[in-house]
A and B are shown apart, each in its own frame.
Chain A
Amino acid sequence: MPPPSATPPLLVQRPAGLYVPAADLHIDPVRPVERAVITHGHGDHARPGHGAVLATPETLAIMAVRYGPDHAGATQPLPYGRSLDLGAVRLRLVPAGHVIGSAQIVLDSGGMRAVVSGDYKRAPDPTTPPFEPVPCDLFVTEATFGLPVFRHPPIGHELARLAASRAAFPDRPHLIGAYALGKAQRLIASLRESGEAGPIYLHGALERLCALYTELGVELGPLRPLREAGAADLAGALVLAPPSALGDRWQRRLGDPVTGLASGWMRVRARARQRNVELPLVISDHADWDELTATIAEIAPARLWVTHGQEEALVHWARGLGIDAEPLSLQGYTDEGDGAGETEAPA
């Protein structure tokens, strides 16, 4: 049943990314555009050089830290829940639960509603408000972990494995690779919740974003730059670094650390082996298969667009439920960062 031809579509696909014609607005464009709305601060979604950027205040703060205050011609903060009318479209940002400031973009126009999820998760995260499901006609979902083999255990389960390793090797530092934005802070905040009160040592590439989280009111406890740690501090210490630093010359100062990596990919042994770590921790800021399918079932959209990730399986599953599902092949988005791009920084 095609929509009346008089109504232009609310969302279309363009080379730079998803585009809202009625508002002349790109969503997470992968190249500089006049007007952009950004779902969250990860480098493949938030890029510098746009004319005007609309995003949550937290996402704008992240972009300013990463790219400098002049990363866009103009910026407009829009807190969660506040509506903004742009031509015939009413736009609202709703928590996505992915990282601090991450938002779904809710677009209402002519009685139709589209929701672009950005990246999201349903598992609890002390650094960000939880994902809010919004009923809609068209839902654009991510599918990073869109295969039924990806089911992330509760984070407490993985933190217990980290604790067990620290108990087994009390003299060795534990070096954990964690994405610099979001993963690292969620890991720290969750460790604090689980009772870890001691200092946590940071690779230089994590310092600015951890400081920003603290400014934004997330309690991270005592953090220390690794370069200030003496040899005596390092026995049994917990050290966080971006994944790209694992196996790098940088880690030699730690002697013989137990190395771990916090990533949803660690669920699959072959992927974990490739990373050459001893302690693969299945911790992800993306929805796993159960969360993806539960979310789609809960929202029950008439149409579903599936993007960046394992689209095929999720599309197959959704069609089985009678949902009009299609894969979107958006270029320029990486999967959950366990190495590439933004993690490179001086130690």
Chain B
Amino acid sequence: MSPFADLLEALAFEPQRLGKLRHLTRYLSRTPDPDRGYALGALAGTLDLAAAKPALLRRLVETRVDPVLFALSYDYVGDLAETVALIWPSRPPTEDPPRLGEVVEMLASAHRTSVPGLLEAMLDRLDASGRLALVKLITGGLRVGLSARLARTALAEYGAVPVEAIEEVWHGLDPPYTELFAWLEGRAPPPRAEGRGLFRPVMLAHPLEEAELSHLDPAAFAAEWKWDGIRVQAVAEGGRRRLYARSGDEITAGFPDLLPALDFEGALDGELVIASGGTVRPFADLQSRLNRKAPAPALMERLPAAIIAYDALSLEGEDLRARSFAERRARLETWHAARAPDRITLSPLLPFASWEELAARRAEPPGPAVEGVMLKRRDSPYLAGRVKGHWWKWKRDPFTIDAVLLYAQRGHGKRSSFYSDYTFGVWADDGLVPVGKAYFGFSDAELKEIDRFVRAHTVGRFGPVREVTHTEEEGLVLEIAFEGLQRSARHRSGIAMRFPRVARLRWDKRPAQADRLATLEALLAAIEAGGG
């Protein structure tokens, strides 16, 4: 348990993705089966051990700790799991600390009534960080900022295989993943992806630099709209129907209204959107359905989900991935015409003879749910990952506004000595109102300039946050680029930006010359009206 506890501790305090990967691969290489496999499952969310509720922990700790001391401590620490872990008065241990595998297997096979006793005995055998790991494990909240995707990336790094190879088999395996480790360590062949309804690694596009177009032959490419939803893989095999996000995470439970439409034998690639009355709705509508494990019927009726299909990876039991895009598209169209499935439409191909013609179409998108065009080589097979030269995304140009820097906060890791996180605002009737935050977009040299400005123009400090000068005459104007706007009750301005970043520092402008909130409101109205 102690190596697992150390890993959780290290991950919880490690801000950088590469650092998290390093910690996890080291752990995997130094920890035996089945402990490491259970740890992997706990981190990736595939190990469901929710064996105890916080109330049980509280009851246990109250049998051992004076209630006044517990209350004072809980008040100070602020987190029940952590308070219990820290305050637990161990008796002198009679046994060694349990291994993670022992803990998991014991709890998984325990009868509900024997869980409290088991837990108490295990808490006695652990030190404070071990107790915290145990308590977080059984209450289901590790919260160390590590995604399932990052866990699979660590596995790929550990075994020196492409992450797509891990994704291909991942959903057919369960903790403690011993056959997976045996393969990654060269002791066994790859586990066979035998289960039905498995995820296939997704093919990704490169952003297009417009200068590259002159090297590309328009006749070799098909074009489609780039839809502003989330990438989805719909799989129906042997009676199983599943929906996966691009990361390989399963999202079936959030979209039960789509499952009847998955009336095929195969795997389709497409965009998950909200569509009603024949129109695709803005991304904001989809957002209110994401991350819901069990959506209410009323929500599904108001915001019905749909799939805009653009590729077929497998149909009627035949794996099509080695075939060309043109062939796969033909198969997809034939299937769609024959079935005319409810809630699955085809992403139309955009006819064009020259790049100029396509550029003109890109400038006039049909609605708010389009964020550019996609180019796909007609002869490309379906390749896992972001392989250059096959698929391109040509996004519409971002929106930009001039905003005024209001607050700055220091970053993490490499940036911990720089003020690198910015809150910016635009003018409303009663002064500047915050409209967003940006953490990137600037160069290292620009970061230094902003940092110097922040330190020299601080007018207030709130914990780690500095407020900087922002009068009409004095302040820093930032040109902010963003992908879209949506209404938000959580922001004082009533507007939230998508993907804001600092495009330029406008030292040449006075704050009084920055944009007004009315400009953003007009833009939002135009987006909602479909003008984009």
Q: Enumerate chain A interface residues (CB-CB to B < 8 A).
A: 147-151, 153, 161, 164-165, 168-169, 246-252, 255-256, 259, 267-270, 272-274, 276-280, 310, 312-313, 316-317, 320
Contact = CB atoms under 8 A, between A and B. Distances in A.
Contact of A153 (B19, B26, B128): B128
Contacts, number: 86
Interface in B120-142: 127-128
Contacts of A255: 414
B72 A313 contact: yes
B414 A268 contact: no
A272 B82 CA distance: 13
Q: Considering residues A149, A164, A278, which has the most beta carbons from chain B within 10 angstroms of its beta carbon? A: A149
Contacts of B66: 316-317, 320
Contacts of B417: 247-252
A313 B86 contact: no
Contacts of A259: 416
Given A149-B77, A310-B72, A269 B22 contact: no
A270 B77 CA distance: 7
Contacts of A251: 416-417
Contacts of A147: 69, 72-73, 76
A147 B82 CA distance: 14
A276 B86 contact: no
A98 to B, nearest CB: 23
Contacts of B79: 269-270
Interface residues of B, number: 35
B86 A268 contact: yes
A168 B26 contact: yes
Contacts of B464: 274, 276
A276 B73 contact: no
Interface string B67-100: 0110011001111001100110100000000000
Interface of B: 6, 10, 12-15, 19, 22-23, 26, 65-66, 68-69, 72-73, 76-79, 82-83, 86-87, 89, 127-128, 410, 412-414, 416-417, 463-464
B6 A278 contact: no
B68 A168 contact: no
Q: Considering residues B78, B413, B416, which has the most beta carbons from chain A within 10 angstroms of its beta carbon? A: B416
Q: Considering residues A150, A151, A317, which has the most beta carbons from chain B within 10 angstroms of its beta carbon? A: A151
A310 B73 CA distance: 10
B13 A280 contact: yes
Contacts of A268: 76-77, 82, 86
Contacts of A161: 6
Nearest to A150: B86
Please provide the 6 A-B residue pairs with the shortest distance between their CB atoms, ordered closest to farther.
A149-B86, A149-B73, A256-B414, A313-B72, A247-B416, A278-B13
A149 B72 CA distance: 10
Contacts of A151: 86, 128
Given A149-B87, A153-B128, A256-B413, A278 B73 contact: no
A163 B82 CA distance: 25
A255 B444 CA distance: 13
Contacts of A272: 13
Contacts of B19: 169, 278
A313 B128 contact: no
Contact of A148 (B6, B23, B73, B127): B73
Contacts of B23: 168
Contacts of B410: 247, 276
Nearest to B416: A247
B130 to A, nearest CB: 11
